[in-house]
Amino acid sequence: MGSGSTSRSEEHIPSRITIAKYIRPNIFMMKLDDPKCVGNRTEYHQYHTGHGSADRLFTSNGELVSPSKFQLVESLRKEYESNANVIRNYSVIYLGQFILISVLVLSLLWYVINFRRDMMGSPAQTLFILSLIVIMVGLTKVTVNNEAISYYVIPFAITPIFLKTFFNVRFALFVHFLILLLAGFWIPNSYQFLLMNFLAGVVAVFSMRSYYKRGILFFIAMFVSLTYILIYVILSLLQEGTLDGVNWMVLLWFGGNGLLILTVYPLIYIFERLFGFLSDATLFELSDTNQPLLRMLAEKAPGTFQHSLQVASLAEEAVLKVGGNPLIVRTGALYHDIGKMNNPYFFIENQMDGENPHDKVDFKTSAKIIIDHVFDGVELAKKYNLPAQIIDFILTHHGTSTVQYFYRSYLSNNPDEEVDISAFRYPGPKPHMKEMAVVMIADSVEAASRSMKDINEASLNQLVDNIVEHQTREDQYSEADITFSDISAIKKIFKQKLINIYHARIAYPE
């Protein structure tokens, strides 16, 4: 063939440009001084170093494990886990994990049934707890698989902080420990991980006395970081006998952990809105008497406003003694009578000129107006977006008791008539928290003391005893977690407080 001719086979060979459209290289040669190559070799050497044989003993029972021996064992473990030729029965492994996780979840369910049964009827609370568990365990799994991030940076201490804010300390620590047990499945040194994070959670919970104090969260973050560092250094000394084994870079991760704790405030606000929770910070804001609804109460029903202040003082003092949340008691007491603003002069504490509008209506109408202040209060509370927990104080502060004055007056004026007592009875429900029961007692005691003519220590003591006895006889405390010992302590406190309030001033000589 001539030089200008082309063979038949060459006619079907595509050009180099055509081939480049369809074929891409997937293996590249790197120079030894390439940073990526150096990094890969360093990483491989970090986890795959040393040598051993089948009959070699790495360490004896009770022998102190040196860093080099630990590196050998860790290298063997990683090589074993990454070896595809190792035969594993994954179905058995997954079954075991499922059983262990199920046991932990069932223990949480057992705790809720026995100690927090109120959560059973709240899908929002259940969703919050489960979401918190899944998020924290998921973050652990992600960081363990990502060597660029240490799992020490995960702020596990914020879990008990959230739970204490919305529930209580005991429940917070229980769920915190449960999360650590679940996360420990993926942590190489589970004991160290569990010990450090549990103690950090305990420090966080007991350092957090109140959210409304400025700077408290910064102290919590500092205490938690110091706890991590201290325990880490102590464990390193116990294991190595020297500070040479301490990885000082880990301390920076602990510092990052503390900084992440500072995100608690905005997260609490988000959780409150999403799940309908109520934190101490929100209660502190609502208990400010400059809130619009309380200012309106002071202007339209000044007597009721003063009555509410006194009830809040009495109830808060009692709850501090018998246990409970004094902030929610104070806030609930301040708002419990806001419904009286609709008809303020039908309530004796707002009658200034001696004229009583009840004289112009019948007893049933008077009773209805008095009872309606509960419904009016609920409407106002919803209009001003008060939390459901505060609305419960408005609904329960009279329970299912009767408007005694108008009921007895109706009976005396209609002796032959069969009276429907429901027309004179509050709709309820009864108090279902200790704090609500305390506000109910304080409300009745304070209101009754205002109408007393002969005020002395004996009459005040008798007044408190009679009111509590009457409410007990009407079974008003049956749904609240309050004991006879609590009631006795509450009575004693109220008697002393009322004596101090009505104590006559000493007459100074002229």
What percent of the chain lies above the pLDDT cut of 90? 47
pLDDT, residue 63, reads 63
Q: End-to-end CA distance of the chain, in Å?
A: 144
Give the HSE-up count for residue 425: Cα atoms under 13 Å, Cβ half-sphere: 13
**For residue 503, with 0-12 CB atoms within 10 Å meaning exposed, 13-18 middle and 19 or more buried, which class applies?**
exposed
In this structure, are 289 and 269 located in the same domain?
Answer: no
Q: Decide if 149 is inside a domain.
A: yes
Q: Which of 259, 275, 291 is the last residue of a domain?
A: 275
In this structure, are 332 and 457 located in the same domain?
Answer: yes
Q: Decide if 125 is inside a domain.
A: yes
Here the CATH number for the domain that contains residue 421 is 1.10.3210
In this structure, are 353 and 479 located in the same domain?
Answer: yes
In this structure, are 256 and 318 located in the same domain?
Answer: no
Structure tokens at 110: 């057992």
In this structure, are 187 and 315 located in the same domain?
Answer: no
In this structure, are 271 and 328 located in the same domain?
Answer: no
Q: Decide if 30 is inside a domain.
A: no
Q: Decide if 205 is inside a domain.
A: yes
Q: What rounded mean pLDDT belongs to the chain?
A: 83
In this structure, are 376 and 236 located in the same domain?
Answer: no
In this structure, are 209 and 295 located in the same domain?
Answer: no
In this structure, are 381 and 478 located in the same domain?
Answer: yes
Q: Is the peptide bond before 429 cis (omega within 30 degrees of 0)?
A: yes
Domain count for the chain, please give it. 2
Q: Which of 275, 308, 341 is the last residue of a domain?
A: 275
Sign of the torsion formed by the C-alpha atoms of 412, 413, 417 and 418: negative
In this structure, are 190 and 293 located in the same domain?
Answer: no
In this structure, are 441 and 376 located in the same domain?
Answer: yes
Structure tokens at 474: 């009407």
pLDDT tier at 13, thresholds 50, 70, 90: very low
> In this predicted structure, which of 62-71, 277-286, 494-503 has the lowest mean pLDDT?
62-71
Greatest mean pLDDT range, 93-102, 201-210, 242-251, 490-499: 490-499
425: phi then psi, degrees, rounded to nearest 5: -110, 140
Q: Which of 211, 244, 275 is the last residue of a domain?
A: 275
The arithmetic mean of pLDDT across residues 441-455, rounded, is 89
Each residue's pLDDT tens digit, 66-81: 666 666 666 666 665 5
Each residue's pLDDT tens digit, 280-292: 888 989 999 999 9
Q: Decide if 186 is inside a domain.
A: yes
For 493, the domain range is 280-502
In this structure, are 258 and 307 located in the same domain?
Answer: no
Q: Decide if 128 is inside a domain.
A: yes
What percent of the chain lies above the pLDDT cut of 70? 80
